[in-house]
Structure 1
Amino acid sequence: MTGATTADVLVVGSGIAGCSAALAAAREGADVLVVTKASRPEDANTDWAQGGVATTRGDPASFKRDVLAASDWTADPDAVDTLVEDAPAAVHDVLVETLGVPFDEGGAGYDFAREAGHSRERILHVDASTGRHLLRPFLDYLDGHGRVTVRDDTAALDLIASEGRVHGALLDTRPTGDPVFAGATVLATGGIGACYRRSTNPQAATGDGVAMAALAGADVADMEYVQFHPTAYAGDGDGSDTFLLSEAVRGEGALLRNGADERFMPAYHEDAELAPRDVVARAVAAERDATGGVRLDVEPLDFAADFPDLAAKCEERGVDPAAGVPVAPAQHFLCGGVAVDDRGRTSLDRLFAVGECARTGVHGANRLASTSLLEGLVWGRRAGRAAAGNDVVECDVPALRDSDPDLPERFAAEKFTRLRRVMAERAGIRRTPDGLERARAVLRRLKGEVDAYARTRTSRELYELRNAAVTGLLVVRAAAGNDESVGCHWVERPDAAAAGD
C-alpha cells in the first residue's frame, strides 16, 4: 500500500513489557517500531510502580509456592515455572547489565524487601519508586538503539486483521489514520484503570489492547479477576487524587486501623497486614463500611526517611502521616486479559500480547505483590524473540473517517462517568449476580451510544471510550459466568444467605 509504514515488529505500548519486547526483537535483528499513547514516561503504568521486582534469591521452589498460594491455587503451574525459571537471567541481563538499575543495597548486597504474600525477603527495589527507575533508563536506552524507533503520543486505533492473521495496526495520525504493516504485532498496552472510579493506574489505561484483540477475534481469559489494592489514599470521593501506598510500607511494619482506632487485620487472616491482597482489600472495605474509615498507621517506621516520595504526596494533600493516612481499596491490576502461551502468542497468527493486557496464567485469580514488572520483563523478552523473523504482508485496510479533534467534552466525560460508576458499584470488590447483569445492560447501552456517535466522526477519545466499554463488558460477562468466589472475584448471594445457605 502506497504511503504505509512497515516494520519487522510493531510494539504497541511503552511500559516494561513493551520495552522488553522491543529490545529482544531488536537483538534478534528485527527493525522495531514502538508506538505509544504516552507523551511522557509517567503516562505508563510501569512508571507508577512503587513496589519492586520479585526474584528467586536462589530459592525458586518457595517463590513458586508463594505465587500459587496468592492465586488461591488457580494460577497455571507451567506459567509460574516459566516466570520463576527465567527470572534470574532476565533481571541480570536487562535490568542489571544493560540498564544498570541502581537497586537499593544494604549490608553485603541488595536490600531485599518483603511484601504481602511472600514468605521471605526477595523484592528488589529502588526506594518507593522502582518503576520510574526502570522505565526511564529503558526508554533512554531504546532511544539510542539503531534498530528501534519510538513514536510518542501515537495511539493504535485498531488492528489490521484478515483471515485469522494480524498484519499490523491503524494509528491515530491526524487528519486520517495511517496503517503500519508489520511481520508481527505485540500488544503491551497496560491495564484498565480508567474503567473504575478509583484506580492506581494512569487515566490512559483504557483497556485498549484487550479490546482491540477481542474485536479482532482473539481469545481472552480470566477477565473477572480484577485486583484491587487495599491501601490507596482515600482522598476525595471521585478518586481524582488517589495514589498508591505500596505494600512495602506494610512490609516495613505499618498497621491498618479502623475508625475506632482498632487494628483489625489479625482477626481476618493469620498473616494480618501481610495477607494476600484480596483478603486485605475486602477487610479494608468491610471495616470502612462498619466503622466509617480505615487509616494506615505508619508510626512503627520512619516513614519520611524510608518512603520520601509517599511522604511528599501526603504533604501535597495536607495529610499528616503521624495521624495515619486514610486509605481505601482501588482498582490496581487486571489478572486476566488476552490469552497467550509461554511466548506471548495469542490465538491470532502474528499477534502477541505481553504485560498487564495479557493473560499468561501466572496470576490466576489474584496477583502476588511485585510480580507484574517481572512478568512484563520475562514475557516481553520471550515474545520479542518469537516475533522477530516474520515477513511483512500487506492487505486491504478499511478507510477511516476524517478525524474530529473536537469531540464534545461533555459527551466523553458523561460516558466515562457512567462507565466508572457502574463498574465501581457493580463489578468492584464485592459483586452480586443481579448487579453484574445490571452492569452488563448499562455497558451495552453505553457502547451502542458510542458506536452510533462514531458513525459520523472519529477521534482517539472515541476509540478509548469504545475500548473501555468493550473491556468493561468483558469483565462483567466473565464475572457473571463464574459463580465461584475465588481470589479477587468475590460473589455475594443475598438470596442464599437469607435462606441460611
Structure 2
Amino acid sequence: MTEYATADVLVLGSGIAGCAAALAAAREGQRVLVATKAERPADASTDWAQGGIATTRDSPESLKRDILTAGDGEADPDAVDALVEDAAAAVEDVLVDTLDVSFDGDGDGFDYAQEAAHSEPRILHVDAATGRHLLRPFLRHLDDHDHVRMLEDTAALDLITDEGRVTGALLDRDPETGERAATGAPVFAGSTVLATGGIGDLYRRSTNPGGSTGDGLAMAALAGADVEDAEYVQFHPTAYDDEDPFLVSEAVRGEGAVLRNADGERFMPDYHEDAELAPRDVVARAVAAERDATGEVRLDVSPLDFAGEFPGLAETCEDRGVDWEAGIPVAPCEHFLCGGVAVDTEGRTSLDALYAVGECARTGVHGANRLASTSLLEGLVWGLRAGEAAAGDGWTPDPGDPPELRDRDPDLPAGFADEKFRRLRRVMDEHVGLHRSGDDLRRAQGVLRRLKGEVDSYVRTRTSRDLYELRNAAVVGLLVSRAAAENPESAGCHHRTDDAAPEGTPDAGH
C-alpha cells in the first residue's frame, strides 16, 4: 500500500451535490478526488429521486414563499434567498448546457409539473425518474474531466484533523492500488467536502438506497463540527406499503391522484384545505392515522392516465405485482433528513477546510419540513458554491505522519453488524419515528448509548466498513433522538405526541 495520497479537494459522495462540488472545484483547476461508497449509478440517492427539480420560473419570490411555508417557520430566509437566487443559473449552466438533460416538454417548452405545497407548476422532470437522468450523465461528464478522479466502492472511515482543521480522510481502499486497506488509507487534501447522503438505514422502511448510514454527519460530529436540526426527519406519505417499499412520486398526486382509506373514503380534505397537496408532514400523519383507523390507505390513480404519464412507475407496479388500477397501497416511509452538519451559504462547516453539501448538510433551506423537489436543487446549488469555495482555500496539506487504524483482532462473526442494525432500527421505528414523546425519546437514547458503547469497543481494534457504518448509524441515531428530546414543540416533521391534538382528528396534523 502507498503511504498516503493527496488531492487539492477531496469529495466524499457521488450524488448531485458531490458531483456539483467536484465540477466546480475542477473548473477552478483543482485536482479533485471523489471517493464514494456507491457502485454506480444506482447506489446514490440522487439516482432514486423521482419527482424532479424545482425551479423559480419567473417568480423567485413565489418559490421562496412556498419553501418558507413548508418549513413551518423553521427555515432560514437568508439560505432560501441563496437557493432561489442561484436556482435558474445553476440549472441552465449544469443541467441544460453542460449535461444536456432532456427534461420533458409540452410542445412549447418545458412541461412543468405541480407537486404538493407548491403554489404553481414549476418542477422540471423526466418522467418520474428524474434523478437517474441527471446523475448518470453527470458521472460520465466527470469521468472525462482531466482534473477529476473517481473512486467507487470506497468508504470514508474517519476524518483526519489537525488542531481544528480537517486535512483529509481515512478510506477503506487504497486510492493508488485499489486494494482494501486493513488499517485505513489516508488521503490528505486542502479541503474536504462531505456529500454522503441520508440516514435511511436507521429505519426499517426507507426510500433511500442501502448504505445510507449517515456517515458524513457522524464523522463530522465526532470531529467536533456543529450539527443542527437533526430532529427533522421527513417521512414521505406515499411509499408502497411493503417491507421493500418503493416511492410513489409526489407528482402523481400533483396530477390528480387521491388518497382513500380502507372504506373507500377520500380523507385528506378533512385534514388540510390543500388536501392531497398539503405539506408532506401533514399528509404523512394523516395517512398513518387513517391506516390505524381503517387498516389500509390506497392511492387512487384513476383520475389520471397513470401508465401514460408515469410509465416508469406503472412498470414498477407491474413488476412488483401491484394492481395500480385498484389503487396503490401506501404508507409513510423515512425519506429525508432536513437537518445535519451546520453550514453557511458556501457550504462551510464550523471546522476549517471542511464543507458539507446535500442531505448530510443543514443549510437552513428546509427548516422543519422539506418542500417537494427541492433536494436536487439544494444539492446542485450548494455543491457548486462549496466546490468553488473549497477551491479557493489555497492550502497545501502537510501530511506529517499518516494516521493508522487498528486491525489486530479476529473478524467478528458473520451477521454481527446485521443483528445490531436490526436492534437499532427497531428502536428508531418505535421511538424516533413519525411520532415522538419524551418518554419514548429517553428510552431510545438509553438503548442507543448502550449500542454505541458496544460498537466502539469493537471499532477500537478492528477496521471494517460494516463496523464503521454501524458506528456512524448509532452516532446519528443519538444525534436525532437527542435533538428531538431537546425540542418539546412540534414543528413540521418533528411531531411530539405530548405537544399535539389527538391523532386521527381532522386538522391535527399541522
With the length of structure 2 as denominator, give the TM-score of the two structures: 0.95
Residues 21 and 381 in structure 1, CA contact (< 8 A), matched pair in contact too: yes
Matches within 5 A, 1:42-81: 42-81=42-81
1:455: how far off?
2.9
- Matched residue, 1:473: 478
- Conservation of the 8 A alpha-carbon contact between 1:160 and 1:169: yes
| Uncovered stretches (5+) of structure 1, i.e. residues with no partner | none
Distance 1:405 1:142, change over 3 A: farther
Report the Cα offset of residue 303 of structure 1. 1.1
**Cα distance in 1 for residues equivalent to 2:140 and 2:421:** 34
Q: Which residue in 1 is equivalent to 2:377? A: 374
Determine the structure 1 residue equivalent to 2:147. 147
1:109-188 equivalences under 5 Å are 109-173=109-173, 174=180, 175-188=182-195
Matches within 5 A, 1:24-423: 24-173=24-173, 174=180, 175-235=182-242, 239=243, 241-389=244-392, 390-393=394-397, 394-402=399-407, 407-423=412-428
Equivalent residue of 2:497, what SS? coil
Contact 1:181 1:392 in 2 (8 A): no
Residue 404 of structure 1 deviates from its aligned partner by 8.1
Partner of 1:456: 461
Report the counterpart of residue 428 of structure 1 in structure 2.
433
RMSD of aligned alpha carbons: 1.5
Question: What is the Cα deviation at residue 269 of structure 1?
Answer: 0.3
Distance 1:26 1:496, change over 3 A: closer
Whole-Å Cα distance in 2 between the matches of residues 397 and 485 of structure 1? 46
SS of the counterpart of 1:231? strand
Q: Name the CA shift for 1:63/1:215 in 2 (closer, same or farther; >3 Å).
A: same
Q: Deviations over 1:108-155 (max 9, x none)?
A: 100000100100000000001000000000000000000000000111
- Partner letter of residue 90 of structure 2? A
- Alignment correspondent of 2:177: none
> Aligned to 1:438, which of 440, 443, 448?
443
Question: What is the identity, as a one-letter code, of the residue corresponding to 1:392?
Answer: T
Quick one: distance in 2 between partners of 1:403 and 1:44?
Answer: 32
Q: Name structure 2 gaps, 5 residues minimum.
A: 174-179, 503-510
- Equivalent pair of 2:407/2:461 in contact (CA under 8 Å): no
8 Å CA contact 1:404, 1:459 repeated in 2: no
8 Å Cα contact 1:71/1:364 also seen in 2: yes
Q: Which amino acid aligns with 2:429?
A: A
Aligned mates of 1:496, 1:288 — CA distance in 2 = 18
d(CA) in 2 for partners of 1:204 and 1:2? 27
Match of 2:176?
A: none
Aligned partners of 1:477 and 1:205: how far apart in 2?
20
Task: State whether structure 2 residue 466 is matched by structure 1 residue 490.
Answer: no
Give the SS at the match of 2:330.
strand
Partners of 2:257 and 2:303 within 8 A in 1:
yes
Aligned-pair CA distance for 1:451: 1.1
Distance 2:441 2:414 in 1: 28
Work out the number of aligned pairs and report it: 493
**Alignment TM-score, normalising by the size of structure 1:** 0.96
Q: Structure 1 residue 4: deviation in Å?
A: 0.9
